[in-house]
Amino acid sequence: MVLVRNNKKDAYYVVTPKTCSCPAATYNPGQPCKHARKYFPQPKVTAPAVDSIKPEGKWPGGHNGPVDEIMGVA
């Protein structure tokens, strides 16, 4: 946890890897604000994580899976 002075230099934000007391973090709950990203660089797991949950394009043989067999549109 770090304290970050705001641009007006009249207040400090409490910054942790996932939260911040600045307005931007309040408006975007669940998303690290620029402070969190700056002081706690996020591990680059976003792209691989997204890829891993995407369905594979085609089944072996170019079919879309059992549905093609059922519908007869292989």
Binding positions for Zn ion, rule: CB under 5 A: 20, 22, 25, 33, 35
Residues in the chain: 74
Pairwise CA distance, residues 23 & 7, whole Å = 12
Nearer to Zn ion, 31 or 65 (CB): 31
Minimum distance, C-beta of residue 12 to Zn ion, in the bound complex (Å): 11
Nearer to Zn ion, 6 or 59 (CB): 6
Q: Which is nearer to Zn ion, 20 or 49 (CB)?
A: 20
CB of 46 to Zn ion, least distance (A): 19
Spatial separation of the C-alpha atoms in residues 63 and 73, rounded to whole Å: 9
Whole-angstrom distance, CA of residue 57 vs CA of residue 26: 38
* Rounded-to-integer distance, Cα 63 and Cα 71, Å: 12
Report the nearest approach of Zn ion to the CB of residue 13 (Å). Answer: 5
